[in-house]
Amino acid sequence: METTAFRAEVRSLVADLVPPGWTGIGDLPEDEAVTFRARAGAAAAERGWVAPMWPAEYSGAGLGPAALIVLVEELTGAGTPFGSDSDAFGISMLGNTMLRWSAPELLRRFLPRIVSGEYVFAHGFSEPEPGPTWRRSRCAPSATVRSGCSTSRSSGRPLRTSRTGCSSSRGRIGTCPRTAGSRCCSSRSTSRASTSGRSATSRARPAFKEVLGDRARTGAGLVVGEVDRGWAVAMTLLGFERGETAIHAPIRFRNELDRLVVLVRERGLDTDPDVRRHRPGRAPPDRLVLRCHGRRTAAALLAGGEPGPEAAPFKLLWSEYHRVVTELALDVLGLDALAPTGRRSANWYQTDDPGAANSVASWTSVYLNARAGTIYAGSSQVQRNIVAELLLGLPKEPRLTA
């Protein structure tokens, strides 16, 4: 589809959806925002735009790279959502990974239901004993046969999950100790072997839970990819986790920087030499670097390239950029940041919604999001090691031996 005509189509949809005086979904009261998200999501799903690059047979639109960039630019720039928070797991991560690794019958079973919202996925990485890596979680074949279907059994404590309370299913990754291989399974979240409890987070939101899933079972037909080759599947999934923000994140950061400029002016600090010499001078160039790097990362992903270590620099750039910008926001707020008032950020991830008020609580909660952003999806230290070792070819760090 010719991009000019497609851009006009997207703008027409936005014009039909938004009320007069629209500044973004962040300007709506919470109940109205929920209603608007549902209406916008239904309109997007009707056109296949919830998973726009997926083939039409899987409820996508089959868009090419250029059209996808237009879609994301227009909807994100207008402050109009076209999916749910859980789409990052079900569509961007698990669904895209399944398209790379799963058989057509599994795709036909899962992908349309993910798009419709019938299947809402959380994701979790587990470990059998205390330690830093989920690669050590155990997942083994089971002789148990139920309803004529063999099963895979996985164990690992704890299984830390995101969006578990809102999900009907989980994606889980574990390793097989007999072969040092791995497997990735899609499983329903109703396993009797699983219990969950709320974990402490920077914002104490119930979306993050610790699930104890010893001897949890899933059908052998639900294993994504080849048995005992789950490590390659896991790397694909992590690549999508780190790379899926490449298109929309720079646009959201641009909107957020505009809000920060307004905040500086509201506080009468736009002529303050200390503020002018501080970090804001660094933000616009960094944002342009993000945009260029994001376009390059997105182009590689959209062209069918495997999202490997090349996604690491972008994740490192945006997370460190966001930390710097939100630290500046707290400097501008001064002592007010110690006793936040007003509406908090509606999001647990990256920026507040476009159109959100410049409340103290909004900026302080986004500040905590930004600190977490340098840790989840691979910490900044891990990303630097990936860049050094896998992209620049530098020697690995020496390891101490007992």
* pTM exceeds 0.85 for this model: no
Q: Which segments of 179-282 does DSSP mark as H helices, in order?
A: 230-243, 248-266, 273-277
Residue 96 falls inside a structural domain:
no
Q: Do residue 132 and residue 220 come from a single domain?
A: yes
Residue 108 falls inside a structural domain:
no
Q: Where is the domain boundary, 35, 57, 83?
A: 83
Residue 318 falls inside a structural domain:
yes
Q: Do residue 32 and residue 169 come from a single domain?
A: no
- What pLDDT score was predicted for residue 366? 95
Q: Do residue 253 and residue 199 come from a single domain?
A: no
What CA–CA distance (Å, rounded) separates 288 from 295?
11
Q: What is the pLDDT of residues 321-346, one digit of tens each?
A: 999 899 999 999 999 999 999 999 98
C-alpha distances (whole Å) from 152 to each of 12, 55, 146, 228, 231 are 48, 29, 11, 11, 16
Q: Do residue 264 and residue 367 come from a single domain?
A: yes
Q: Do residue 17 and residue 127 come from a single domain?
A: no
- What pLDDT score was predicted for residue 139? 45
Q: Do residue 384 and residue 288 come from a single domain?
A: yes
Q: Do residue 259 and residue 341 come from a single domain?
A: yes
Residue from 247, 262, 261 nearest 295 by CA: 247
Distance of alpha carbon 15 from the chain centroid: 27
CATH of the domain at 220: 2.40.110.10
Q: Where is the domain boundary, 203, 228, 253?
A: 228
CATH of the domain at 357: 1.20.140.10
Residue 101 falls inside a structural domain:
no
Tell whether the model's pLDDT for residue 53 goes beyond 90: no
| 154 against 377, higher pLDDT | 377
Q: What is the pLDDT of residues 17-35, one digit of tens each?
A: 998 889 999 999 989 988 9
| Structural domains counted in the chain | 3
- What pLDDT score was predicted for residue 11? 95
Residue 401 falls inside a structural domain:
no
| 397 against 170, higher pLDDT | 397
Q: Do residue 13 and residue 128 come from a single domain?
A: no
Q: Where is the domain boundary, 31, 62, 83?
A: 83
Residue 92 falls inside a structural domain:
no
Residue 99 falls inside a structural domain:
no
Q: Do residue 70 and residue 150 come from a single domain?
A: no
pLDDT class of 311 with cuts at 50, 70, 90: confident
Q: Do residue 305 and residue 185 come from a single domain?
A: no
Cα-based angle 228, 217, 232 (whole degrees, multiple of 5): 25
- What pLDDT score was predicted for residue 293? 79
Q: What is the DSSP string of 254-289?
A: HHHHHHHHHHHHHTT-TT-HHHHHSGGGTHHHHHHH
| 192 against 92, higher pLDDT | 92
Distance of alpha carbon 362 from the chain centroid: 20
Total Cβ atoms within 10 A of residue 252: 21
Section 187-215 average pLDDT: 45
Residue 206 falls inside a structural domain:
yes
Q: Do residue 211 and residue 250 come from a single domain?
A: no
CB under 8 Å to 57, separation ≥6 — which residues? Answer: 108
Domain hosting 308: range is 245-391
- What pLDDT score was predicted for residue 296? 78
Q: Do residue 126 and residue 183 come from a single domain?
A: yes
What average pLDDT does the structure give for the chain? Answer: 75
